[in-house]
Amino acid sequence: MHRDQYCRHDGTVYIEKTKFRKDRLIPVPKIALTQIENYLAVRTALRADDQNPYLLAARKQRQLRDAQVRDAFHQAVKDIRISRPKQSSATSRSANRCP
């Protein structure tokens, strides 16, 4: 996602060509906006000359790969101890049945 697809003032992100080739304007929860703004402030403080066009920047004017973001998310979930074991499909089907 490019930095210009994030709008701080409106609290939205603009996603082009999603499912069924539609563009979407997605509201971002306030807690997520705060974290994005904190990230951008630290990024600016550390690299005032940053020209990377991506919101989540990697090296050499590139964006973070999906796998990098996913791995960081799962590590954060473990670090704050809210992870839970995966359920088998049989277990989750029986748990979702109405009495």
Give the tens place of pLDDT for each residue, 66-81.
888 888 888 888 888 8
Domain ranges of the chain: 3-84
Asked if residue 94 has pLDDT above 70, the reply is no
Which H or E run contains 24? strand 24-27
CB hemisphere CA count around 45 (13 angstroms)? 6
Which H or E run contains 38? helix 30-46
Tell me what pLDDT residue 14 has.
93
Convert the pLDDT of each residue in 23-51 to its tens digit. Answer: 999 999 999 999 999 999 999 998 888 88
Tell me what pLDDT residue 42 has.
93
- As given in the structure block, the two tokens for residue 35 are 């974290």
